[in-house]
Amino acid sequence: MQIPDYFKFFNKTRIVSGKKSLENIPYELQSMDAVKPLVITDKRSVDEGLVKILIDAYGDSGLVIGAVFDGVTAYTSAKTVLDAARLFRARGCDSIISIGGESCAFAAKALNLLVSHKTEDLLQFDSLPDNMHLCPFIVIPTSDSSGRETSTRSVIDGRIYESDELMPDIAVIDPRMLKKRGKAETILPALRAMAEAVEACTEDAANPMNDSFAFASIQLICENLAAAVNGGSVKSVLGLANGIAISGIVWSNAPEGIGSALAEELAVRTGNSRELCAAVLLPHTLDYKLKNTKKSVRGELLLPVAGIDRYCAAAETERGLLGVEAVFEIVKGMNKYIPVTLKELNIPRYILESTAEAVEDSFAKQYGKGGALMILESAYNGERVSGGKK
């Protein structure tokens, strides 16, 4: 593993995963001196019976859920957070449980800022310290989760709030909360989470602590994605959910990479989802790094992507290349369900140029002038970066 001269790693979130893990929540809350949580969620989670499953899991614990707020939508607004905060105070709640994807978790984190600081104005938080005292916060990932639920970030009205303390105290991953989704809905968040975990361990600032989390995330996603997509066992669905949850911790401990930056810019300029853009760009970003940087793609990547047998059978000098090829195989294998090239998304070529220009200054020193455009052009037709195999 790569060991820099100096590095930092932080993880606040404890993961509780497996059968009947929801039943541990009353005990976990009491251990944090909390007894009356507000549940913040969306209509889909209510309609699918996920809130009822949580309530039933409380059983005869003697604790009660203070209130359920189900007004979260895909776009999380400050008004939504303020409404939830008012309900929190009216019902005398002392902790927060989020059920759902990143929108629910983002709303819960912002809610925690308001109720912990006794304010109704999110705009006062221009910057956040990493040593705040916040209410106990538990996140329950569902099949709508992207990995950002466990991250240090909340996005409200397009405004980013970031602090180590915004990480949840506990992530409870229970198979009862992982309802079946369409194939594309299963694939895209998993590939985005994988892209972010892969990028974290292919940056110059990579460190052994974050590498270990990244490799665990990558391995769980690679081992379970195909089975989960094809209606696999509870074990495969749970494994995939764990891999996605861990990716948020990894993402929070790594600088933004060129792949993430390009995916964000491309999504904004084309209207495609960030998940889809990240999935399409993943192998091409990795291929570019392999051919244009000296140490970004290390041989260890092959192990979580392809497994121990393939790793041990490969010569040490070939492992980096084989790791990249394995990522190509995984993404291309999903072509029956999702587009895997930018051309399939009907993106005009001029948008590639403007997208590359938007991130060029930030990454030219690390990856060379024109690198961003080369990655996008490679992803456009699904070809390997110039000089590699087609």
Q: What's the pLDDT at 390?
A: 37
Per-residue confidence band for 39, with pLDDT thresholds at 50, 70 and 90: very high
Residue 139 has pLDDT above 90, yes or no: yes
Nearest by Cα to 152 from 125, 135, 128: 128
pLDDT one-digit tens code per residue, 223-243: 999 999 988 789 999 999 999
| 311-318: long-range pairs with CB below 8 Å, 24+ | none
Q: What pLDDT does 98 receive? A: 98
Q: Is 197 helix (H, G, I), strand (E, B) or coil?
A: helix
Mean pLDDT for all residues in the chain:
93
CB atoms within 10 A of CB 195: 30
CB atoms within 10 A of CB 285: 33
Domains 14-177 and 183-381 share a fold: no
Listed by start position, the domains of the chain span: 14-177, 183-381
User: What pLDDT shows up at residue 388?
Assistant: 42
Q: What is the pLDDT of residue 284?
A: 95
Find the mean pLDDT for residues 351-379.
89
For 113-138, what is the mean pLDDT?
A: 93
Q: Percent of the chain scored above 90 by pLDDT? A: 83
Instruction: Tell me which of 210-224, 237-251, 365-379 is least confident.
Output: 365-379
pLDDT tens across 300-310, in order?
999 999 999 99
According to the model, what pLDDT value does residue 129 have?
86
DSSP annotation of 127? S
Average pLDDT over every residue of 31-36: 95
**Residue 92, phi-psi category: left (phi > 0), alpha (psi -120 to 50), beta (remainder):** left
Q: pTM of the entire structure?
A: 0.94
Could you tell me the two tokens for 301? 């990547």
Rg over CA atoms, the chain: 21
Paired tokens of 107:
């709303």
How many Cβ atoms are within 10 Å of 184's Cβ, its own excluded? Answer: 15
pLDDT band for position 113 (50/70/90)? Answer: very high
Decide: helix, strand or coil at residue 343.
helix
Q: For 141-173, write each residue's pLDDT tens digit.
A: 999 999 999 999 999 999 999 999 999 999 999
Tell me which CATH homologous superfamily contains domain 183-381. Dehydroquinate synthase-like - alpha domain (1.20.1090.10)
Q: Among residues of the chain, what percentage have pLDDT more than 70?
A: 98
- Residue 386 confidence (pLDDT): 65
pLDDT value at residue 389: 40
Q: What is the pairing mode between strands 137-140 and 95-99?
A: parallel
Query: Which CATH number is 14-177 given?
Result: 3.40.50.1970
* Cα 128 → chain centroid: 21
Question: 50-81 in b/e burial notation, b at 16+ Cβ within 10 A?
Answer: bbebbeebeeeeebebbbbbbbbeeebbbebb
Q: Where do we find the tokens 């240090």?
A: 152
pLDDT score of 127 more than 80: yes
